[in-house]
Structure 1
């Protein structure tokens, strides 16, 4: 076992951006990923009292239809368009003009004025062979010299029905061949195609052809829209998409990846993509992936009525307003900078701690959580990794500040080695002290002797492993002089107290805390048997870490005692996968904090082989979720392939808005596990970060639904931890660009969106 501490050469780290100090696996089978410029989605919403039924983009402006009236988008508001026609049913852009399909005719807008061009009731409009074409329910017209000319042949339409064709090629019709009822028209492969209710028609100017599809059929008679795009003609139905290629018609449904089969409208995107409106949100279809944009998180409402694009901006008309998705150039480095600014502007920081912000009586306040240290831990780790990579003194200052907060949790308690879950000030905090503690028991709050602070007891294993994880990283990567001594002594005191209490945490009242239990009477008996793996893993981590940092024989003997109880063997199956009641996502967080810490210090080959078996089993269970936190820990320790490319993709998919809007995915038609993965925990699908609100570091990618009605704003520290961990271990390379606009965001804008700055007493000096 190691008896030496880690003294890192920060200059090397800062210049190389690649660290081999904390782990040095014999091989690295993963490939470093470039932090290339990508397009980041940015959400905006414009709510309306009535449905937006149609939308169009024209000359850089967005026009929307509300209660048959035309509005234009001005900033974040819809304003009534001047002199626009009323009773409009559809808005369309075609031929460099904006067209309003109204109840009393067709109107054209050239950017200056509206002009009526036809008195007929037009149902659709498109470009075909370089000219605007319009359709009524039973006729098609071409726009020529300012007016619409009918395409109906003088001798009427012909049919593709061979029974009506005579020997000389003429056709005999008892009743005239009808073109309609036409719902939509589109130009595909040089020919006009008409969508009739549940039926696709090919029209060459003479023949109304219903016999041109050799293979396949439309999945439903309930057809909604049609889009011609390159080699394909798409049809939207309530049972998926139909796609015409040549003479073959095939379906795209949930099993193929379509998130919602009940589709309503179609629009061409800006990057060889197709946008699909549905009854439950919008979908972006690319060549090899699907992006789902649901209500609340991205859109004002569920029902998508129409979609329009303008450059890299997408306008989505819903029953509750207009959803806008802008695509802006970003790198992951810029995204990290954005999230750091978010922490400042939303007031997540307080006295070195990181807090969630929530709405209380209409005001944003910081939550005094049940785990102030645990929620600060990812940020402390992130700033440590950032400093090790960049040498940025601001990152070092942030790390020191958060470390002091972690140290304060222990210093505020009269008992050496015991520490608080949370700290509260009656004069500075607007959140109330929570009344509940662990497992629904009453909370235990204690006042300091000067009366300025209250601290919460009943400390759990969660807080302890979070402290060992982050403080040990601080010790190894950032701490200097007195800081290193304080970090080492803090972990020593906590580990010592756990041993002295008989492998439990004893509270101020002399009682064992609800979840601070690592003793065999708990873990090796039915009462706590479900926790024997994870809690045993934690206890081993405490002992190995304390011994490595201090060299104190007490911790070596403590570690041996745990081995004698077979705690190391129990770690192999520490990840519970059954029954469902024993599966806890936060335990996964604790496990990977333990692995990352334990396997830095444990050097006994026999023990390491056991811990690596545990890690291999646990990561295989978590692998289907494709979360960088798990994969980077696994890859850093083992050097094995850890799907580094998918981790960069995951980080790019995080939403910028950290408000916890509601999200719903359980209704989707594409709930299946991706090929190459297996679900061991019952998860039906890995949900992309794009399709859920920002959640805390122990997020579950298989949780289909969630959110807090937009009344809570989450700290994005999980991203910061994973990005900078990725940079530190070399999974992610530094951006190749030096353009400030692509690697950073404007700071110190003087904006305050969330909780006001803390105005209570200052934190006492901790050393």
Structure 2
């Protein structure tokens, strides 16, 4: 090769020969359990009590104003709770509550415990006209309560009653193993023997709220955590408070898992002692949980004061999840060929949303396009190729619509829309407007996607067009002295790679390292595909003469806040870790490493990429991990990447989400990298964000106003993993 700048020595002139790399680990795509929610809302205010599913899969909800049933409802399209008028003969009965016995519905009114099952033969009369609690025991014997008294109703023989003095009775349970009932009041737990007509207080404490029988123990919820008793009332597990929320309202044992309801969401205890947290309208109509029970077909019913959240657990492979996301993107998120956002929604109602333009239309589309390029490279799916073609059409028009040679618009849209921001400009075509002030994050995204397309897509038309776009953009930048120059002849705010700008920052300000890394990657990509010497010459000039190589290789540990004598601009840019910069680094790493001028540079670039990745590891972001795998390292946190992909929510609506109140997370002191907690929460428990935000953000006020596209957030890391061979195709296809 021709050596540029001999003073650089062997670093920029030599080419190393590497031994064959050992194989990287591969995730076998077998079915995993994916959860999602179907929500049902009360039309009017109601005071719900219980929700149950019978052996036929029918679901009923009891309230203080009667029974309700679920109507309509599917994933992302909520249903309603309607008055249950299905059986007219009980319409005039004062049904106070609902229970389940032998997987059949039983009810209690002011006269009896009754059911429509068993040919309607169950009609056990009682003497507590205001009773509203019930549970069934052996051989159709029932224990009921009105809150202050208990009454046992045997199938045969005489009923008997006892009064409770220690606070209001809250719940009743039956233990078949000991043929004993248990009653919980606000201040005590009682055992009740229907056969022996014996009531015994076995535990006393204040602020009790709920209980459940579990593995030979009694799990008792309080206003501040839960504890476990043996059947005699002895405490075997002390008060547990490391929970998502400690003010408990109900406890249920479902499929060998303990579920807890609280005044701030529901959560399931996992085998490792941690919790899956189901809160916000991503999962349930309200965070005030009243009751939890087993639903139909591998689901759990979470009854709240506003309605029911039906949490469905189904098995699917990552590829099947990708197919669902692909449908989401293609049916709701394509605008003029761009990968867009569905915004302006009213409380998550998809029919009220409208596709909106973005300053980053080019970036989000580049990332989606990159994913589709990897998809086609891995599968040769003609649909992926068609998606590539449509997205490239949009990306290409960004350059042709504005009349500024080589300058990419931020976006374009039909004329007539009432734009509030100033960057919109008129075109020569009265039907269209374009958006100016393009940023460096769009540009690095463009080069990433065009480079990947030029390398991996064999279609001659798409390949040649992508190379032409690389050349057009980079020629503009070189011609304009390493600036991105807008319609007014001035550089845009962020499109600056000239040494006067880049090296004006102190060495610990991230933009100095970032801009150096990005422009070298862009110039390498341009040279790799065009073979025009001007790109290589400029890259080596920047690296040797202006220190860009030293800048891009600078360890991440040096990056921090600007010193006191730095400019205000430097201080503003370095107040904390910039996650948009992370996205820009990684969009550039493809070209930095993949199209390195020689093997020596490639080996050193690898060190810089892995050094950066070490700082990203706590976020468990699948995209950063999988793109780091391009360097060939063996440990790139594949397991955490799969965790990210599997835990990502199918519901991508930006709901209001809160986690800062949780007592099961360990907070960290404020720090530069914005890691708020010791461990990052799963993606389905935090707000909807793109890769340019911290995954440690605990709260988000989304209000259900936006649905993000899976194109850039999920499909890119998944298909990158498939192309790189670290995620296999599906080994088993699950039945629908």
Q: TM-score range by the shorter chain?
A: 0.7 to 0.9
- Cα distance, 1:147 vs structure 2: 7.0
Report SS of the residue matched to 2:648.
coil
Q: CA separation of 1:563/1:224 partners in 2, compared to 1, >3 Å: closer, same or farther? A: same
Q: Compute the displacement of 1:499 (Å).
A: 2.2
CA distance in 1 between counterparts of 2:158 and 2:315 reads: 43
Residue 400 of structure 2 is aligned to residue 419 of structure 1: no
2:50 aligns with 54
Decide whether the 8 Å contact of 1:380 with 1:470 is kept in 2: yes
**Cα deviations by residue, 1:155-184 (Å, 9 ceiling, x for unpaired):** xxxxxxxxxxxxxxxxxxxxx998986543
The alignment's C-alpha RMSD in Å is 3.3
* 1:714 counterpart = 2:708: yes
Q: Confirm whether residue 63 of structure 1 aligns to residue 63 of structure 2.
A: no
Aligned match for 1:359, one of 328, 344, 366: 344
**Is residue 2:627 matched to residue 1:640?**
no
Tell me: CA distance 1:123–1:433, structure 2 relative to 1, closer, same or farther (3 Å): closer
* SS of match in other structure, 2:607: helix
Q: Partners in 1 of 2:82 and 2:423 — Cα distance?
A: 55
SS of equivalent to 2:657: coil
Matched, 1:543 2:523: yes
Aligned length: 676
**For residues 551-570 of structure 1, what are the structure 2 equivalents within 5 Å?**
551-564=531-544, 565-570=546-551
Task: Assess, with a 3 A threshold, how the Cα gap between structure 1 residues 264 and 651 changes in structure 2: closer, same or farther.
Answer: same
* Residue from 225, 232, 251 that aligns with 1:240: 225
Give the match for residue 75 of structure 2.
Answer: none
Gaps of 5+ in 1: 4-22, 153-175, 213-217, 436-442, 743-767
The answer for the alignment partner of 2:155 in structure 1 is 145
Hey, what does 1:330 align to over in structure 2?
Answer: 316
> Could you say which residue in structure 1 is the equivalent of 2:143?
134
Task: Give the direction of change, closer, same or farther, for the CA distance of 1:260–1:111 in structure 2 (3 Å limit).
Answer: farther
Matches of 2:392 and 2:418 in 1, distance apart? 25
Displacement of 1:518: 1.7
Give structure 2 stretches of 5+ with no counterpart: 4-17, 73-78, 563-573
Q: 1:699 to 1:33 in 2, by over 3 A?
A: farther
Structure 2 SS opposite 1:326: strand
Whether 2:362 is the aligned partner of 1:377: answer no
Q: Which residue of 2 aligns with 1:349?
A: 334
Are residue 81 (structure 1) and residue 84 (structure 2) matched? yes
**Equivalent in the alignment of 1:303:** 288
For residues 393 and 702 of structure 2, the distance between their equivalents in structure 1, rounded to whole angstroms, comes to 31
Shift of 1:468: 1.0
Q: Please name the residue that 1:751 is paired with.
A: none
Report which structure shows greater RCO (CA 8 Å, sep ≥6).
1
SS in 2 for 1:322: strand
Compared CA separation, residues 452 and 151, structure 1 to 2 (3 A):
closer
SS of residue paired to 2:438: coil
Summarize the Cα distance change of 1:196–1:47 in structure 2 as closer, same or farther, 3 Å threshold: closer
The 5-angstrom pairing of residues 573-592 of structure 1 reads 573=555, 581-592=575-586
| Matches of 2:164 and 2:653, distance apart in 1 | 57
Name 1:433's counterpart in structure 2.
Answer: 419
Q: 1:517 to 1:179 in 2, by over 3 A?
A: closer
SS of 1:582's equivalent in the other structure is coil
- Per the alignment, residue 727 of structure 2 pairs with 732
Tell me if structure 2 keeps the 8 A contact 1:30–1:642: no
Structure 1 window deviating more from structure 2 (715-724 vs 651-660): it is 651-660
Matches within 5 A, 1:242-257: 242-244=227-229, 247-251=234-238, 253-255=240-242
CA displacement at 1:107 relative to structure 2: 4.1
| Contact persistence 1:377–1:470 (CA under 8 A) | yes
- Residues 454-493 of structure 1 correspond to what in structure 2 (within 5 A)? 454-493=433-472
Deviation at 1:482, TM superposition (A): 3.3
Q: Which residue of 2 aligns with 1:746?
A: none
Inter-partner Cα distance in structure 2 for 1:444 and 1:177: 72
Matched, 1:94 2:101: yes
Would you say the 8 A contact 1:696–1:715 is kept in 2? no
Kept after mapping to 2: 8 A contact 1:2/1:548: no
1:402 to 383, 391, 394: 391
Equivalents in 1 of 2:31, 2:398: separation in Å?
40
Deviation at 1:139, TM superposition (A): 6.4
2:263–2:288: 8 Å Cα contact kept in structure 1? yes
SS of residue paired to 2:536: helix
Instruction: Label 1:530 to 1:615 Cα distance change in 2 as closer, same or farther (>3 A).
Output: closer
1:682 matches 2:675: yes
The corresponding residue for 2:211 is: 226
- 2:268 corresponds, among 284, 291, 298, to 284
Using the size of structure 2 for normalisation, the TM-score is 0.83
Alpha-carbon distance in 1 for matches of 2:166, 2:157: 21
Q: 2:376 aligns with which of 360, 363, 387?
A: 387
SS of residue matched to 1:72: strand
